[in-house]
Structure formats: structure tokens, C-alpha cells
Amino acid sequence: MDDRKNLSFARRLRFALAGIGHALRTERSFRTQALCLVLVMVGLAILQPPPLWWGVVILASAGVLAAELFNTAIEHLADHLHPETHPAIRIVKDCAAAGVLLAVVGAIGVGVALLVNLIRG
């Protein structure tokens, strides 16, 4: 039984923040995507779209960051369990990376839809 299941919310939150911190320190893609999130927030503050657009953009951005964190976790676990190159591990890593790509494409789609809405608005 894992003792970490019954820890307080604050303690579990620290684990999650440690994961984000690790990704920020070690993953260039995550840092790039986090920087994009900051720029997107600045853009939203300047453009001041309706609150619904804020929610959609933040949700899409969070999806990209979450996908990157899942990708990082999968890569680390796969490398730990099977350090040498293996075709099955390559497929696992490629599929995880594809998940990040799809999340990014979706977020870009949200951004395009927002700009079209603002231009037509």
C-alpha cells in the first residue's frame, strides 16, 4: 500500500509542484511552452476578450502543458525501465510526443478561432 495516497492535499500539492519544477529545470520544450503561456496571458490582457475566451485559451494552454508533463513522465519511466534503444519503447515515446503535438495543434486552433472572433467582433 502506498502511504502517499492518504497524505494531506498540501503535501500532495508539493509533489505536483516538484514535478512542474523538475520539468522547468530539465525540459526545454516545457520551458518553451510555459513561456508561450505567459505570452498568451499578456496577449489576453491586451486584447481583453470575453471571459469565455479566457477560459477556453487557459484550458487549451493547460492541456499542452499537461501533455508535455505526461510525455516527460513516460520518457523518464521508459528510459529507466529500458535504457537501451528498443522498437517498442520508441513507439511509446513517439505516441507520447504525438499527444503533445495534437494538444499544441488544438491550442493553436483555439488561438486562431479567438483572433477570427475578435476581428469579426
Active-site amino acid positions: 68
Cα of 114 vs its chain's centroid, Å:
20
In angstroms, the CA 20 to CA 30 distance is 9
62: nearest Cα among 30, 25, 19: 30
Length of the chain: 121
